[in-house]
Structure 1
Amino acid sequence: TLDHIPLTLTLTQQPNRNKPSSVPPKSEENKMDRSASEKLILVNREPGGIAFVTINRPKSLNSLTKSMMTDLAQAFKALDRDESVRVIVLSGSGRAFCSGVDLTAAEDVFKGDVKDLESDTVAQMERCRKPIIGAIGGFAVTAGFEIALACDILVAAKGAKFMDTHARFGIFPSWGLSQKLSRIIGPNKAREVSLAAMPLTAEIAERLGFVNYVVEEGELLKKAREIAGAIVKNNQDLVLRYKSVINDGLKLDLGHALALEKERAHEYYDGMTKEQFKKMQKFIAGRSSKKPSSKM
């Protein structure tokens, strides 16, 4: 377990185990927002519609400063508006996904306007219409845990750990961990994870339905890319609508959620022209004659 770790910050003091970085490989085709030396949040757009966002502060196990949180929030806002982007993969460089907030600047991070959504990473992730795949390697601690919870699909490397240290350090959760986790893994297990600061391993998280896949560390981004590729092949408009109705329905009881689905279905079909129906039927006929190609 990680019970011997007295502070999130002490994670940064552990010796480097020389694990391979999970930063996506550079290519001439990728568009990088700024040079790596200038940015702690990297954004790479690929021609096929997949964008990679990387938290890039490996020496501090990707702990977040106020400016990093703002940059990360703005990255998701920009990608949501970019019509060339259809799915987003979020990862951390080095030995951790994100070790939480940089506690050396805690006052700067925690005080301020809580309604300022422009710098609220999780709020912008939740507003993002595009599917977000979290590629979790190493530690996802507290704020990092909450960022993982804001992803739509999670792939984790073997040995990855999720840890909530809010209660240990006297930090009140504000990015949803106190409410979201219990709805995914059940209230009793969530209380253990949060009140006892008990690490949740990737393997257990997968069994509880929080993590979709657990893979070897070297396969982390490959698996995330595979899922992203499967999403990109589908109808983009329906993917966006489907994500929206799932996430909005989770905020409601089942009866109202089913009514919401029916309402949006009627809106969708009522808005289609005869030509669009013909195209849909032709597309379905063409796909049904082909064998499924997905390996997932």
Structure 2
Amino acid sequence: MAGARPSYADDDRLILVERSPRGIATVTINRPTSLNSLTRPMMVTLARAFSSLSADPAVRVVVLTGSGRAFCSGVDLTSAEEVFKGDVKDVDTDPVAQMERCVKPILGAVNGFAVTAGFEIILACDIVVASKGAKFIDTHAKFGIFPSWGLSQKLARIIGPNRAREVSLTATPLTAEHAEKLGLVNHLVEEGQALKKALEVAEAIIKNNQDLVLRYKSVINDGLKLDLGHALALEKERAHEYYQGMTKEQFKKMQEFIAGRSSKRPASKL
């Protein structure tokens, strides 16, 4: 990324983080020779990276991607016992838990395969961009691995329970093209263009009121955990808190901004 500077990585540089001056942080899973499969230390590093980025006031948006031919091929099964018998309730070292706690918008840029744990990481993103030829695969049932990062619950809520059952119980690939039609993927792009498009979306986000962006992400994600009635009540409650906290000067600036934007718009033709 032009103008970006490396700012965080583990000892083997398997998880890379770059922060741009404009406030976009790019996190790269960087183990291409193993299709970015995750070891336990990589998971811990990834979790700490998201925790750090969430707390960094200079970071506005996070883009997550993988280097090489895959986004992430899942857990490195040579260290399966270390991973699966670890403390799965330790949220401080759980990358998906830290992604879910991250207050900044997270964009996933998928190239190649997103398999099992990689699939679950994508489901923790707020917006997903995928290149043509990318595939999402759930192999939990194939290898006798019980899901613990949310795939059994989140996928059904995005693409529907019947389709989710088929994806998970057959362990057959869900193509990026099909995933876009089902609403899992926001943007489908040419091969090699996923990161570029994700950065374009990130640029669109950082042009907006950043306080409202964070609040909006929060109310959407928190509301999805509730039934519609309680979610609407949550929106009302947070809107009330937001406006009650605004000063007269802030209301005046809002009105001036809206008036200025309206005056610049061309007159509509009937």
Report the TM range for the smaller structure's normalisation.
over 0.9
Shift of 1:36: 8.7
TM-score by length of 1: 0.87
Report the CA distance between 1:286 and its aligned residue.
Answer: 2.2
Deviations 1:231-261 (A, max 9, x none): 0000000000000000000000000000000
1:9 aligned residue: none
Closer, same or farther: CA 223–289 of 1 in aligned 2, 3 Å: farther
Does the alignment pair 1:168 with 2:142?
yes
Equivalent-residue separation in structure 2 for 1:261 and 1:133 (angstroms): 23
* Partner residue of 1:139 out of 110, 113, 134: 113
Residue aligned with 2:218, SS: helix
Match of 2:210 in 1: 236
Q: What aligned pairs does 1:1-296 form with structure 2 within 5 A after superposition?
A: 25=1, 27=2, 29-34=3-8, 38-290=12-264
Instruction: Name the aligned partner's letter for residue 23 of structure 2.
Output: G
Instruction: Kindly tell me the number of residue pairs found equivalent between the two proteins.
Output: 266
Cα distance in 1 for residues equivalent to 2:119 and 2:76: 14
State the Cα distance separating 1:34 from its structure 2 match.
Answer: 4.9
Hey, what's the Cα distance between the residues in 1 that align with 2:262 and 2:184? 32
Which deviations, in whole Å up to 9, do the C-alpha atoms of 1:30-86 show, x marking residues without a partner? 221357983100000000111100000000000000000010011010001111110
Tell me if structure 1 keeps the 8 A contact 2:8–2:18. Answer: no
Q: What is the CA-CA distance between 1:291 and the residue it aligns to?
A: 5.3
Amino acid at match of 2:256: K
Identity %: 76
> CA shift at 1:175, angstroms?
0.2
Residue 290 of structure 1 deviates from its aligned partner by: 3.9
> Counterpart amino acid of 1:286?
G
Say what the alpha-carbon RMSD is for the aligned residues: 1.4
Moved over 6 A (4+): none
The one-letter amino acid paired with 2:138 is D
Could you list the runs of 5+ residues in structure 2 that have no partner in the other structure?
none
Distance in 2 (alpha carbons) for counterparts of 1:265 and 1:156: 34
Q: Give the AA of the match of 2:40.
A: K
1:149-183 C-alpha deviation (Å, 9 max, x unpaired)? 00000000000000000000000000000000000
Measured against aligned partners, the alpha-carbon deviations of 1:96-141 in whole angstroms (never above 9, x if no partner) come to 0000000000000111222211110000000000000000000000
Q: Deviations over 1:175-202 (max 9, x none)?
A: 0000000000000000000000011000
Deviates more, 1:113-122 or 1:170-179: 113-122
Maintained 8 Å contact 2:28/2:66: yes
Return the letter of the residue paired with 2:252.
K
Task: Tell me how far apart the structure 1 counterparts of residues 15 and 247 of structure 2 sit (CA, whole Å).
Answer: 42
Per the alignment, residue 12 of structure 1 pairs with none
Amino acid aligned to 2:178:
I
